Structure 1
């Protein structure tokens, strides 16, 4: 109901029943980047270099990414903040940073 622009007509939508199925279908030469805070292997967004080809994986707001997902991520990044960010804001910051660094 919230997809008022029917984005699925313009943007591919893939659904997988398990994380393993999702991981098996990552595009060739694509890095899986977890977005998670806090995490011991997470790199702060200002210091992060975005791969040319990647999939950003954002977890649920209440419990984040699963341990299985974090173990399979090639890199983990977080947006530094004094407060917890909701998943939409975190994703927007990651994409804004990617675009800004690509233009630089």
Structure 2
């Protein structure tokens, strides 16, 4: 019998320069429910939120990075960055093959990901939406899509 840790699959999700702390709590709750291995912030830190009703931040690993370079230099070996951004180079989420080992990176609602984060992401994804969505909603949609029985790259 092979232990589960030999599947070599993990994923985390985080926000770069999050605008409102309430969104973090909602995203962390979704991350915990949809199987994320860890959560993180870049720039602005997490503060306890009433919207994190499951207290996910204490139930799963949480990492904070001061800036994008700090985050990039501490990526788990073999992890791919999947930036979630309305960008002409982004692949449609509906047909995207999620990497087996990755981190999903979302930007602040008012500015999105930084240019550096976009340029250094291994993949960019977007989904059918004319305008940007609340960051917690967008992240939850990406996590739900990963949970579907789809091929992994």
TM score, norm. by length of structure 2: 0.62
C-alpha distance in structure 1 between counterparts of 2:70 and 2:128, whole Å: 31
1:16 aligns with 2:78: no
Once the two structures are superposed, residues 35-93 of structure 1 have per-residue CA deviations (whole angstroms, 9 ceiling, x without a partner) of 001x1210011111100010000000001000000011000001212443111111111
Larger displacement relative to structure 2 (24-33 or 5-14): 5-14
RMSD value, Cα: 1.6
Match of 1:88? 136
1:5 Cα deviation after fit: 3.3
Match of 2:90? 42
Match of 1:51? 99
The secondary structure found in structure 2 opposite 1:27 is coil
Aligned pairs, number = 102
Could you list the runs of 5+ residues in structure 1 that have no partner in the other structure?
none
- Confirm or deny: 8 A CA contact 2:109 2:132 kept in the other structure: no
1:101 Cα deviation after fit: 2.9
C-alpha distance in structure 2 between counterparts of 1:4 and 1:92, whole Å: 16
Higher strand share: 2
1:11 Cα deviation after fit: 1.1
The secondary structure found in structure 2 opposite 1:20 is helix
